[in-house]
Amino acid sequence: MTGPDRPQDVRGAGTASPRRRPWRSRPRRGRAGPLTYLVLIGLTVVSVFPLYWTLIAATRSNAEINSVPPPMVPGPNLLKNIDLAYDEIDLTKAIVNSLIVSGTIAVGTVMFCTLAGFAFAKLRFRFRSVLFGLTIGTMMIPPSLGAIPLYMMMVELGWIDHLQAVVLPTLVSAFGVFFMRQYLVEALPNELLEAGWVDGASTFRVFRSVVLPIARPAMAVLGMLVFLQAWNDFFWPILALTANNPTVQVALNNLGQGYVPDRSVIMAGTFLTTVPVIAVFALLGRQIVGGIMQGAVKG
C-alpha cells in the first residue's frame, strides 16, 4: 500500500467491531512542537488584547486614554472609575440580573435543544425532515425581524422591564438543536439505544440514562456558548428593559452619560461586567475541556 485509501475505507476499518473496542478512542496523541506553541501564544495575545485594553482604559482617566500615544499599562484609577460607575447605575443588580437571565437561558436552551436534537438525530417520526427543515429555517430569521411585534406583545403582557421579557424569546435556538443533533448523530451509537429499548426502558428513561451522559460534553459547550451570547446580547434587552431592571449591556449603555462621554467609566463598567464571564470560564474551563476529553474516553 502506498498511501491511505479513501477515507471511507479507513473509517470502515475503525468501526468494524464496536463491541471489542471502546467507542470513543483517545484523542490524538501527537505532541505539540515549539512552532505550535509560538502560534498559539500569538493567537492568545491577539484574542486577549481588546480585553486588556478594556482593563487599561478602566484603570486610567479619560484624558489619559485620549492622549497620543495611549498608555500601554494599567493605571491606578480602577476603583475611582468603578465608584463613578456605581454612582450612575447599580452594576451589582445588573450583574445579578444578567446571571439570572443568561443562566436561565443557557439551562433552558440546552435542555430544549438536547431533547429536540436527540429526537431529530435518533428517533423516527412522521414529518421529521419537514420539522427539522423548519427548525433550520428559524435560524435564518434576522433578529430584528420580529422585534417590533415582540415588543408590542411584551407591552400587552405587561412584561416590559421584567426579566422574563428577555428570557423567553431567547430560549429558542435552532442553532442549539442543529448542534446537538449533529453531535448525537456522530456520538451516540444506535446499539446503545437499541439495548436500552430492548431492555424495556421508555424513551425518556433511555434519554436520561444513555443519551444525557454521552451528550454531556456537547451540552457543556453549548451551554457555555449560549450563556456568553445571552450575556452579550444588547439589541433586544435595550428595547425590553430600562435602567430600573437592567442586564449588564443595558446598564453599560446608560453609563458614562454626560456631555462628555466618560470612556474610562464606561470601560470600567465593561470590565467589571466581563469579569464574571471570565470567572465562569476560568472555573468551568477545566470542566468543559475535561468533559470533552471524558466523552472521548468513555466506553
* Interaction pattern, residues 42-71, with another protein; x per rule: CB under 8 A: -xx-xxxxxx-xx-------xx--xxx---
Contact call for residue 99 and another protein (CB under 8 A): no
Binding window for another protein (CB under 8 A); candidates: 32-40, 76-84, 91-99: 32-40
Angle at 133 between CA 132 and CA 137, to 5 degrees: 115
Residue with smaller CB distance to another protein, 48 or 79: 48
- With CB under 8 A as the contact rule, the residue among 83, 145, 191, 195 that binds another protein is 145
Residue where the block lists cell 407591552: 155
* Interaction pattern, residues 229-268, with another protein; x per rule: CB under 8 A: --xx-xx--xx--xxx----x--xxx-xxxxxx-----x-
Residue with smaller CB distance to another protein, 79 or 279: 279
Binding window for another protein (CB under 8 A); candidates: 77-85, 90-98, 142-150: 142-150
| C-alpha distances out from residue 258 to 38, 58, 242, 262, 271, Å | 44, 17, 18, 7, 20
Using a 10 angstrom Cβ sphere, with 0-12 exposed, 13-18 middle and 19 or more buried, the burial of residue 58 is buried
Shortest separation between residue 202's beta carbon and another protein, angstroms? 5
Contact call for residue 275 and another protein (CB under 8 A): no
- With CB under 8 A as the contact rule, the residue among 78, 85, 120, 223 that binds another protein is 120
- Selection from 39, 152, 1, 167 nearest residue 97 by Cα: 167
* Interaction pattern, residues 213-232, with another protein; x per rule: CB under 8 A: ----xx--x--xx--x--xx
What would the DSSP string read from start to end of 133-156? HHHHHHHTS-GGGGHHHHHHHHHH
Q: Give the other-Cβ count within 10 Å of 36's Cβ.
A: 11
Binding window for another protein (CB under 8 A); candidates: 75-83, 91-99, 288-296: 288-296
Contact call for residue 122 and another protein (CB under 8 A): yes
How many chain residues interact with another protein (CB under 8 A)? 153
CB 206 within 8 A of CB 184: no
Residue with smaller CB distance to another protein, 11 or 79: 11
Quote the CA–CA distance of 183 and 138 in Å, as a whole number.
Answer: 20
Residue with smaller CB distance to another protein, 79 or 204: 204
Long-range contacts at 250-258 (CB < 8 A, ≥ 24 apart): 250/94, 251/89, 251/90, 251/91, 251/94, 254/88, 254/89, 255/85, 255/88, 255/89, 256/88, 257/88
Residue with smaller CB distance to another protein, 79 or 297: 297
Q: Give the other-Cβ count within 10 Å of 140's Cβ.
A: 8
Site for another protein in 168-207 (CB under 8 A): 168-169, 171-172, 175, 177-179, 182-183, 185-187, 193, 197-198, 200, 202-207
Quote the CA–CA distance of 282 and 224 in Å, as a whole number.
Answer: 12
Contact call for residue 155 and another protein (CB under 8 A): yes
Contact call for residue 6 and another protein (CB under 8 A): yes
Shortest separation between residue 199's beta carbon and another protein, angstroms? 9
Quote the CA–CA distance of 122 and 119 in Å, as a whole number.
Answer: 6
